[in-house]
Amino acid sequence: MPTEIERKFLVRDRSIVSGLTGVRMAQGYLADNGMIVRVRVVGDKGFLTLKGKTVGLSRAEFEYEIPLADAQVLLADFASLGRIEKVRYYLPVNELTFEIDVFEQELSGLVVAEVELPSEDHPVPSLTWLGDDVSHDPRYRNSELAVSRTVPR
């Protein structure tokens, strides 16, 4: 079973994305009862993702590419739990890749870095631009941000 092991941090220095090329994303949530069903549009591609309950830093994750037109309809008509828009930047650091999300609209000003790890005890490098670890703070889950539409304080 595919498993996602992820740490999430606030970004202290937003200039870290200067010079990087970002990818615009829109995503919406169709269900969230501890397990999440998400639809995402990235450029000209659509994706449907199912995420299991989080245990520690890990959870099951299944992602499938779907036709763009289907993803657009799901996003527009079925994402009843909310949606978010962001620009994602990819920053390789050693053997890891940080995904830096710069949120838009009501969430403007929020910048979060996620990094997928090979194991829960894998060290995350100490980087000056990384801020607080919010991996266990549910307010920073994208599904929660889509519902609240506000930047946590």
Residues taking part in catalysis = 29
The residues pairing with 28 across neighbouring beta strands, listed in sequence order, are 39, 83
The H or E element spanning position 29 is strand 23-32
Three-class SS state of 140:
helix
Calpha distance 80→62 (Å, rounded) = 21
Instruction: Provide CB contacts within 8 A for 33, sequence distance 6+.
Output: none
**If you ran DSSP here, which 8-state letter would residue 35 be given?**
S
Tokens of 21: 């090329």
Tokens matching residue 97: 């890749």
